[in-house]
Amino acid sequence: MSNLAVKETPAAGGASEAVRAVLDRVKAEGRSALTAPEGKLVCDAYGIPVPQEGVATSADAARQLAERMGYPVVLKIVSPDILHKTEAGGVLVGLKSAEEVAKGYDTILANAKSYKADAKIDGVQVQQMLTGGQEVIVGAVTDGSFGKLVAFGLGGVLVEVLKDITFRLAPVSRDEALSMLDGIQAAEMLKGVRGGEPVNREALADLLEKVSRLVSDFPEIAEMDLNPVFATAKGAIAADVRIVVDFAPKEPRYRPSQDEIVTAMNRIMRPNAVAVIGASSEDGKIGNSVMKNLINGGYKGEIYPIHPKAEEILGYKAYKSVKDVPGTIDVAVFAIPAKFVAQALTECGEKGIPGAVLIPSGFAETGNVEGQQEIQEIGRKYNIRLMGPNIYGFYYTPQNLCATFCTAYDVKGSAALSSQSGGIGMAIIGFSRSAKMGVSAIVGLGNKSDIDEDDLLTFFEQDDNTKVIAQHCEDLKDGRSFAEVARRVSKKKPVIVLKAGRTSAGAKAASSHTGALAGNDKIYEDVFKQVGVIRARSLRQLLEFARGVPILPTPKGENVVIITGAGGSGVLLSDAVVDNGMSLMAMPDDLDAAFRKFIPPFGAAGNPVDITGGEPPTTYQNTVRLGLQDERIHSLILGYWHTIITPPMVFAKLMVEVKEEMKAKGIEKPMVASLAGDIEVEEAAEYLYLNGIPAYAYSTELPVEVLGAKYKWARGAGLL
Amino acid sequence: MSNLAVKETPAAGGASEAVRAVLDRVKAEGRSALTAPEGKLVCDAYGIPVPQEGVATSADAARQLAERMGYPVVLKIVSPDILHKTEAGGVLVGLKSAEEVAKGYDTILANAKSYKADAKIDGVQVQQMLTGGQEVIVGAVTDGSFGKLVAFGLGGVLVEVLKDITFRLAPVSRDEALSMLDGIQAAEMLKGVRGGEPVNREALADLLEKVSRLVSDFPEIAEMDLNPVFATAKGAIAADVRIVVDFAPKEPRYRPSQDEIVTAMNRIMRPNAVAVIGASSEDGKIGNSVMKNLINGGYKGEIYPIHPKAEEILGYKAYKSVKDVPGTIDVAVFAIPAKFVAQALTECGEKGIPGAVLIPSGFAETGNVEGQQEIQEIGRKYNIRLMGPNIYGFYYTPQNLCATFCTAYDVKGSAALSSQSGGIGMAIIGFSRSAKMGVSAIVGLGNKSDIDEDDLLTFFEQDDNTKVIAQHCEDLKDGRSFAEVARRVSKKKPVIVLKAGRTSAGAKAASSHTGALAGNDKIYEDVFKQVGVIRARSLRQLLEFARGVPILPTPKGENVVIITGAGGSGVLLSDAVVDNGMSLMAMPDDLDAAFRKFIPPFGAAGNPVDITGGEPPTTYQNTVRLGLQDERIHSLILGYWHTIITPPMVFAKLMVEVKEEMKAKGIEKPMVASLAGDIEVEEAAEYLYLNGIPAYAYSTELPVEVLGAKYKWARGAGLL
């Protein structure tokens, strides 16, 4: 009984020591799993409730233990040599009397002997048998990228079949633990269905917290399974504990400090002097394109072409090596074949250049893993941060810097985008130009031998020219670092990620593409949400979110109102609101009456506000003004219907006017628009977009998706 | 025992008579539900397996029955006055001996008396208790729109919480019944998990078939629940039967025969003479816009303006009434206020005009339900088919016919679109023009007082100018008719439907918009799939599918291959393939080797075929040609990466060349393309699209969605 008396976690020191002692013994004995009693000791140390139990070494002792804890009980063989207890006939459940227990003890011993004659047998565990309540699973795993994760799901085969499980980075806070209970599809089961009692949510959350802390404190705990946990209205008790250990965890990845990253990345992204290694006067050469882009892009810093023979390239004095350049160099752009990179990189190190942009391909992506390791080692030796290899380079528009062989790009804006793949980078460039999105930066990450998504997040976090960060990735080499940085950065600026390789087919393609193994997609899904990252579901969504999210003001609440001239759009917009995790405000009577004053008697009440199709511009104006003025409404979705009485551009200009009028009074709310009509609506949509109202022609879903992304961000950042 | 011996459905006559006798008695007694023994009789008549059972009127008889069928058994009170048996203490389960049964009999009787002293008690049912196997639910419901539906799901609270249930129109064929077993998320449970035996699929399908036939044969059976059904490796037995009846089913909707529909719709859609009621010379009037659209649109038939005073309108002789027109009129377009419609419609009837296009609003959508009923009655009286009211009219481009007040539209093509809402109609027009989609028809359905989606399907089915039918709807007033027609039509031409009001918020908005109550969305989902309708998830998808699906040749098999210059696109395209219900072909070694001959040594093996980014046009040409030539490949997805060596238009022209080259050899396969690059890719995408290769810039998902829609259609039509 005393085992259950441990309700509070003991002082950290005591708990740590107890667990350490168990793990030391397991390690000394060369085992990779804990026995049940060891598992119980570990749980006790962290205050994880387990059933009353004890180990008996005689039938009589088993009987006595059972009498003390009450029936029914479970008997289990305790032997370091028998891992699959059930298979060995080493488990008996539901024993209801002293006689059954005594007899059961003998049966189990006999079974164990016949299963494995030479098995060392420590005794038979007698355990209080739990029944009733909801069976749930609490677990912890070690992910190759994200490290320690805690998992939660319901028990039972059906849930396994449906893969209804949710993950969080460990350790979790109480709120995060509670969010896990709502994070499964079958969440309702925990609230008590068909008259069943709801489970004790605090007790379950407490359990999740403790498990997450335990595996974080002891990285050698590779896996932990509490299955089942019986969750009742009173509490949560883990009926079975399985702990797998790994005493040879992988080397943690080298990470500079955040300050070091900021310093280096600022020199790379906003350099005063750029060297182009492999600069060329010859049209068609990559080193020629890079030079032209730097020059024609309007970069105002120093440009140093590096070439073994040339005296001068495109009007700039050329040098044989970066070491010959008299001044300081902040970043070197490499436009030479892979085989020459190591030598040139060493020279960069000797020159003290803090960053190298490695355009060349021919490294890990073509199987040349050693070549990539070699340059990584040079980078570490000289403290050079490496971008790439196998990239298009990067753009940083506030400095008119096009450090790339692709087209020069000059549409300035506040979105910073990056891509792991060159093709996707080109799509970013094309879309940005076409949609007049404007960007602060576009960065190619390619093989990510060094600089990766979290380095970029760290830089863009403190870059005043960037308001939103959108990243395409196929893997996260260090998901843990990414998540930690993203958690901080997303509080300040929206972080949008398109994770490719979601499906097993996609993951297979990703692996053939960059050698990256895509992890379980559900882990990405849950961790992104946990740290406030907005997940894009498609390339277009990544681009549209990057374009629309920074334009929208942050909503001050969840009340969304649709104002539409087309009833049909209203229905589709309503569907889209739900699909994107928002909800339509229940319209208060007085507000409903106020809207009704502006619309025809047969216009529809409530939300959507259906102003009907034949209305003049003033009806849109009055209703939208009211929507912006009323404090209970937090954002507006407009549905426009092209008519002769209110032509597209009349509507568009009026909406921008109303928006500006309200802004002058200090009122700013997110507003998006869906335009249904003939092709003139395209011009109107563009005008609206350029004036702060994300708008789409022929689509009811895209504007709502953009608004939904803003909401996701605001919630994740704790602003709602 | 003899009860279970009924394995085969008896001769239809006998079965019918048995069920009819039960229903007659229930009706005579004014009940709305069957007792358990009545339910059993009905099941027996249709060969639906139920447990052995009998009704005892004494404890001794109960004991004897139980002895015969074997233990355990269940006892249940049989009383027409006690509906909630469990609540009344009228159910005892798991009785394992003669004594328990005899004692149970007395207990139940005592409980029933204390629950309701005056209840008429017919006895106690003794029933074989089923255990083991998988508990499933088989049911049938009567939907307001679709009529009789059969339902299937797993048993248990969890499944209810997850709403994991699937529907089909009743009656179902064996194949449809089998498809239901795969139609639930938890389908794997039926296949035997964790070493469990798989259920007998044929037995379950047989049960579904029989239930579906029963409710179809007897429309007064409003609801039927077999819950639980115990499904084992041997068979499937319904442990509990609940049947609810409704002897006052709603009046079936009037439907002309398919021939009558074709005849009338051909005169309406392809008229030789059109009357415009309310034609006007005055700019800005609807009757003026309609006249101008008819004239300027290039319509070559007769145009008869109808106006109470005018002698001539826009050069055409005007008449006071359609009755004054000397010749035959095929369709009358109404451009007069609602209050004048009934009178003018009556005159149309007297004139023998078979169709009226009712543009005016002011009917059911504004609460004027009586007004709408009045015109419906006139329509029926004179056999006039009514389009609308509350619509923009319609376009039929093969006749240059713009019977609408909206912009004239003249881009001819093979897509026929319709919308319930005017705003969505305008979006169709704008998109069609902008995307150069080309349409055969655009039709507004508005309030659907008469002509609806199935009339249009029937017309377009036999219209040689139409290759694909795309419909936006908020409800289906007669889902049953729609489904029956769509099932036939979709075998010949793809039918794409955007069902608005999917979510409860959307349904609420739909209901305020047109007075239509949106049904359970899962029913739409399942029925659409059952009858081969492709469901669009968004307005853009409806439009893109209408544009792309008819262009693509029908695939001859499921083997999809991605050929990509951008590895990053390959990953995203692979994700999209899975998301859209297709699968990547496992690349045979010889084919892999054949592709490898054309690509650099570091290009990736398998599928996607990653030709890498720096390749010249010939690499695209060679690989795509191989992909088209090899018979094992059934469709291609191309990922293009914009480079200087292979510019966008070079790529686009080459792909069209290869496609034409193969076509000349009789090889046609669906091909779609995703283009990543600077804005020049937009022109290339348009060129590809216009030449039979649906292509999208900056998107990896849209081209795959279009291909996926084609696959869905081909599968539904039985072509794959």
State residue B193's pLDDT score. 80
Chain B residues touching A573 at Cβ < 8 A: 509
Q: Where are the alpha helices (DSSP H) in A565-717?
A: 567-579, 589-596, 617-629, 648-664, 680-690, 702-716
Mean pLDDT of chain B: 92
Chain B residues touching A154 at Cβ < 8 A: 158
State residue A651's pLDDT score. 97
To the nearest whole Å, the CA of A376 is away from the closest chain B CA by: 21
Structural contact between residues A375 and A346, judged by C-beta atoms closer than 8 angstroms: no
b (16+ CB within 10 A) / e for B81-112: ebeebeebbbbbeebeebebbbbbbebbbebb
Q: Determine if the peptide bond prior to B228 is cis (ω within 30°).
A: yes
Q: How many other C-beta atoms lie within 10 A of the C-beta of residue B203? A: 18
Residue A109 has pLDDT above 80, yes or no: yes
The band of A11, judged by pLDDT with boundaries at 50, 70 and 90, is very low
Q: Do A699 and B540 touch (CB under 8 A)?
A: yes
Q: Which residue of B has its CA nearest to A134?
A: B158
Q: Is A702 on the interface with B (CB under 8 A)?
A: yes
Strands B534-536 and B583-584: unpaired
pLDDT digits (tens, 9 = 90+) for A651-669: 999 999 999 999 999 999 9
Q: Do A420 and B679 touch (CB under 8 A)?
A: no
pLDDT digits (tens, 9 = 90+) for B187-222: 999 998 877 889 999 999 999 999 999 999 999 999
The band of B598, judged by pLDDT with boundaries at 50, 70 and 90, is very high
DSSP string, B576-603: HHHHTT-EEPPPPHHHHHHHHTTS-TTS
Chains A and B form CB pairs within 8 A to the count of 304
Residue A519 has pLDDT above 80, yes or no: no
Q: What is the mean pLDDT of residues B549-554?
A: 96
Q: How many other C-beta atoms lie within 10 A of the C-beta of residue A2? A: 8
Q: Do A509 and B574 touch (CB under 8 A)?
A: yes
State residue B7's pLDDT score. 36
pLDDT digits (tens, 9 = 90+) for B475-492: 898 999 999 999 999 999
Residue B615 CB-half CA count within 13 A: 26
Mean pLDDT of chain A: 92
Say which residue, B51 or A514, is predicted with more confidence. B51
Chain B residues touching A542 at Cβ < 8 A: none
Q: Which of B513, B562, B698 sits opposite A568 (nearest CB)?
A: B513
Q: What is the CA radius of gyration of chain B?
A: 31
Q: Which of A509-518, B289-298, B391-400, B571-580 has the lowest mean pLDDT?
A: A509-518
Residue B416 has pLDDT above 60, yes or no: yes
Query: Which three-class secondary structure string do you get for A513-543?
Result: HHCCCCCCHHHHHHHHHHCCCEEECCHHHHH
Q: What is the mean pLDDT of residues A393-415?
A: 93
Q: Which of A499-508, B19-28, B88-97, B640-649 has the lowest mean pLDDT?
A: A499-508
Q: Do B698 and A574 touch (CB under 8 A)?
A: no
Q: What is the mean pLDDT of residues B557-571?
A: 95
Q: Which residue of B has its CA nearest to A187?
A: B161
- Element housing B79 (H / E): none
State residue A510's pLDDT score. 65
Residue B115 has pLDDT above 70, yes or no: yes
The band of B519, judged by pLDDT with boundaries at 50, 70 and 90, is very low
To the nearest whole Å, the CA of A337 is away from the closest chain B CA by: 14
Q: How far apart are CA B284 and CA B282, in angstroms?
A: 6
> Strand runs (DSSP E) across B82-164, as ranges?
91-95, 123-128, 134-143, 147-154
Q: What is the ipTM of this complex?
A: 0.89
Strands A273-277 and A331-334: parallel
Chain A residues touching B540 at Cβ < 8 A: 698-699, 701-702
State residue A512's pLDDT score. 53
To the nearest whole Å, the CA of B509 is away from the closest chain A CA by: 5
Residue B93 has pLDDT above 60, yes or no: yes
State residue A485's pLDDT score. 97
pLDDT digits (tens, 9 = 90+) for A433-486: 999 998 999 999 999 999 999 999 999 999 999 999 999 999 898 999 999 999
Q: Do A423 and B641 touch (CB under 8 A)?
A: yes
Residue A416 has pLDDT above 60, yes or no: yes
Q: How far apart are CA A512 and CA A515, in angstroms?
A: 6
Q: Which residue of B has its CA nearest to A544?
A: B698
The band of A12, judged by pLDDT with boundaries at 50, 70 and 90, is low
State residue B254's pLDDT score. 84
Residue B6 has pLDDT above 70, yes or no: no
Domains of chain A: 12-128 (3.30.1490.20), 134-245 (3.30.470.20), 257-390 (3.40.50.720), 411-551 (3.40.50.261), 553-716 (3.40.50.261)
Chain B residues touching A502 at Cβ < 8 A: 575
CB within 8 Å of chain A, chain B residues 367-396: 367
Q: Do B189 and A424 touch (CB under 8 A)?
A: no
The band of B562, judged by pLDDT with boundaries at 50, 70 and 90, is very high
Residue A385 has pLDDT above 60, yes or no: yes
CB within 8 Å of chain B, chain A residues 569-608: 569-579, 583-584, 601-602, 604-606, 608
Say which residue, B367 or A323, is predicted with more confidence. A323
Residue A636 has pLDDT above 80, yes or no: yes
Q: How many other C-beta atoms lie within 10 A of the C-beta of residue B657? A: 13
The band of B12, judged by pLDDT with boundaries at 50, 70 and 90, is low
Q: Where are the alpha helices (DSSP H) in B116-163?
A: 157-162
Q: How far apart are CA B460 and CA B440, in angstroms?
A: 9
Q: How far apart are CA A657 and CA B108, in angstroms?
A: 76
State residue A717's pLDDT score. 93
CB within 8 Å of chain A, chain B residues 620-639: 639
Q: What is the mean pLDDT of residues A53-76?
A: 91
Q: What is the mean pLDDT of residues A575-587?
A: 96
b (16+ CB within 10 A) / e for A682-696: bebbebbbebbbbbb
Q: Which residue of A has its CA nearest to B406?
A: A643
Q: How far apart are CA A562 and CA A611, in angstroms?
A: 10
The band of B510, judged by pLDDT with boundaries at 50, 70 and 90, is low
Chain A residues touching B432 at Cβ < 8 A: none
What are the distances in angstroms from CA A149 to CA A226, A229, B277?
14, 18, 71
Q: Which of A193-202, A415-424, B642-651 has the lowest mean pLDDT?
A: A193-202
State residue A243's pLDDT score. 95
Residue A515 has pLDDT above 70, yes or no: no
Q: Nearest-CA neighbor of B440 among B414, B406, B419, B409?
A: B414
pLDDT digits (tens, 9 = 90+) for A669-707: 999 999 999 999 999 999 999 999 999 999 999 999 999
The amino acid at residue B182 is D
Q: Where are the alpha helices (DSSP H) in B70-125?
A: 98-115
Q: Which residue of A has its CA nearest to B362?
A: A602
Chain A residues touching B365 at Cβ < 8 A: 567, 602
Q: Is B58 on the interface with A (CB under 8 A)?
A: no
Q: What is the mean pLDDT of residues A293-298?
A: 95
Q: What is the mean pLDDT of residues B305-320?
A: 97
pLDDT digits (tens, 9 = 90+) for B132-152: 789 999 999 999 889 999 999
Q: Nearest-CA neighbor of A405 among A288, A268, A282?
A: A288
State residue B132's pLDDT score. 78
Chain B residues touching A290 at Cβ < 8 A: none
State residue B511's pLDDT score. 59
The band of A13, judged by pLDDT with boundaries at 50, 70 and 90, is low
pLDDT digits (tens, 9 = 90+) for A245-294: 999 877 778 899 999 999 999 999 999 999 999 999 999 899 999 999 99
Q: How far apart are CA B535 and CA B542, in angstroms?
A: 8
State residue B277's pLDDT score. 98
Chain A residues touching B443 at Cβ < 8 A: none
State residue B563's pLDDT score. 97
Q: Is A283 on the interface with B (CB under 8 A)?
A: no
Q: Is A365 on the interface with B (CB under 8 A)?
A: yes
pTM of the model: 0.90
CB neighbour list of residue B438: distance below 8 Å, 6 or more residues apart:
B397, B411, B412, B413, B414, B415, B432
